[in-house]
């Protein structure tokens, strides 16, 4: 399955990131968001490592929750996605916590299921309106065969350190929280809110990308350390002549006679074609440009007059000399989350503690 590149996951750095986020927010209770294969880091391995240190986990789908349960994860797991009739049976079987966002969702609960309530304070993606809080409380009282284990909301603009809307959303949720009994915990703060605003965290925080060592948005915090280092190797070194085209389309041509290295990492591994003509990799302590079109399985590096040995280590992401994932995102016109989630199963994950 593996294509010749390795993602080295430094779990000790993830624990350091967790500790700093706890200290910054003033609460030890953390919901670790490990959806999308823990943002490409490996949900099972990350889950097993973090389980003793967090309150619970959150995932996007029932299938992700089932995968963690079958791997031996026992702490609470919140499913963000809306419940379905078929999904409810699985959630009950595997002791997963449902998210309810409409009154109809109460009807999909099976006896004995746990659930949390999502309130839409401005994200406009899912959730009850704050104006429905009293009606939701009545629904909770009418479903004594189930247990509400939390209420939550989600910031829409916390990745912008100067957004007034963060304060407005926080105010709206604070109003909702005041209506609910204290024994039902509340959470709203994500990584961006903790780092950029650090408002009242309610009863716990809910962080994902921060555990991976990154802050959403343009402003990064030096306290968070990237967990993942992606390496490959030089598979081939070839001589090219001035004017010869390289890769699909031949839109890049050698400016003079020189050397070209072929690296076994392409868009099927997670290198986006949006980095065509913009990307640099680290070989032997310096950065070299990737030239020509990034292909499914390979990318090519222009060495100019220099030559490197076949088999030399190539730093693609997160290493001492290589670009961080946020630099990838900036050059590709996307966000760090997407870059990390792009890493496919062809990239071998190797874990250290």
Active centre residues (catalytic)? 35, 248
DSSP one-letter code for 2: -
Within 10 A of 141 (CB to CB), how many other CB atoms are there?
Answer: 9
Instruction: Give the three-class secondary structure for 196.
Output: helix
Interacting residues of 97 by C-beta distance below 8 A, sequence separation 6+: 76, 77, 78, 79, 91, 114, 115, 116, 149, 150
Interacting residues of 138 by C-beta distance below 8 A, sequence separation 6+: none
CB environment 184-211: b (16+ within 10 A), e (fewer): bbbbbbbbbbbbbbebebbbbbbbbbbb
Q: Which residue has the tokens 């990350």?
A: 46
Instruction: Give the three-class secondary structure for 308.
Output: coil
Task: Check: CB of residue 20 under 8 Å from CB of residue 45.
Answer: no
**What is the C-alpha separation between 154 and 118, in angstroms, rounded?**
8
Interacting residues of 212 by C-beta distance below 8 A, sequence separation 6+: 14, 17, 38, 39, 41, 226, 227, 228, 340
**What is the C-alpha separation between 82 and 72, in angstroms, rounded?**
24
Task: Check: CB of residue 268 under 8 Å from CB of residue 297.
Answer: yes
């Amino acid at each position: 399955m593996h294509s010749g590149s390795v993602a080295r996951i430094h779990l000790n750095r993830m624990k350091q990131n967790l500790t700093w986020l706890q200290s910054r927010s003033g609460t030890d209770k953390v919901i670790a968001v490990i959806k999308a294969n823990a943002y490409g880091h490996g949900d099972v391995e990350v889950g097993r490592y973090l389980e003793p240190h967090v309150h619970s986990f959150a995932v996007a789908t029932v299938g992700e929750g089932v995968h963690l349960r079958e791997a031996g994860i026992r702490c609470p797991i919140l499913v963000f996605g809306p419940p379905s009739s078929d999904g409810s049976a699985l959630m009950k079987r595997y002791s997963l916590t449902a998210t309810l966002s409409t009154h109809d969702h109460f009807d999909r609960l099976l006896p004995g299921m746990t659930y949390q309530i999502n309130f839409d304070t401005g994200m406009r993606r899912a959730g009850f309106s704050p104006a429905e809080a009293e009606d939701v409380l009545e629904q909770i009282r009418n479903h004594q065969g189930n247990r509400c284990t939390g209420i939550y909301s989600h910031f829409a603009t916390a990745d912008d350190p100067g957004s007034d809307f963060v304060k407005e959303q926080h105010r709206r949720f604070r109003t909702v929280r005041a209506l609910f009994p204290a024994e039902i915990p509340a959470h709203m703060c994500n990584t961006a809110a903790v780092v950029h605003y650090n408002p009242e965290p309610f009863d716990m925080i809910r962080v994902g990308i921060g555990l991976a060592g990154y802050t959403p948005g343009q402003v990064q915090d030096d306290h968070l350390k990237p967990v993942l280092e992606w390496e490959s190797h030089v598979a081939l070194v070839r001589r090219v002549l001035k004017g010869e085209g390289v890769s699909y389309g031949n839109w890049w041509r050698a400016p003079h006679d020189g050397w070209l290295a072929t690296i076994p990492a392409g868009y099927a591994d997670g290198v986006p074609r949006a980095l065509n003509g913009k990307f640099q990799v680290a070989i032997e302590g310096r950065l070299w440009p990737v030239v020509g079109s990034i292909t499914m399985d390979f990318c090519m590096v222009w060495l100019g007059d220099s030559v490197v040995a076949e088999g030399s280590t190539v730093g693609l992401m997160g290493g001492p000399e290589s670009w961080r994932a946020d630099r990838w995102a900036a050059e590709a016109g996307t966000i760090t989350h997407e870059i990390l989630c792009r890493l496919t199963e062809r990239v071998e994950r190797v874990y250290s503690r």
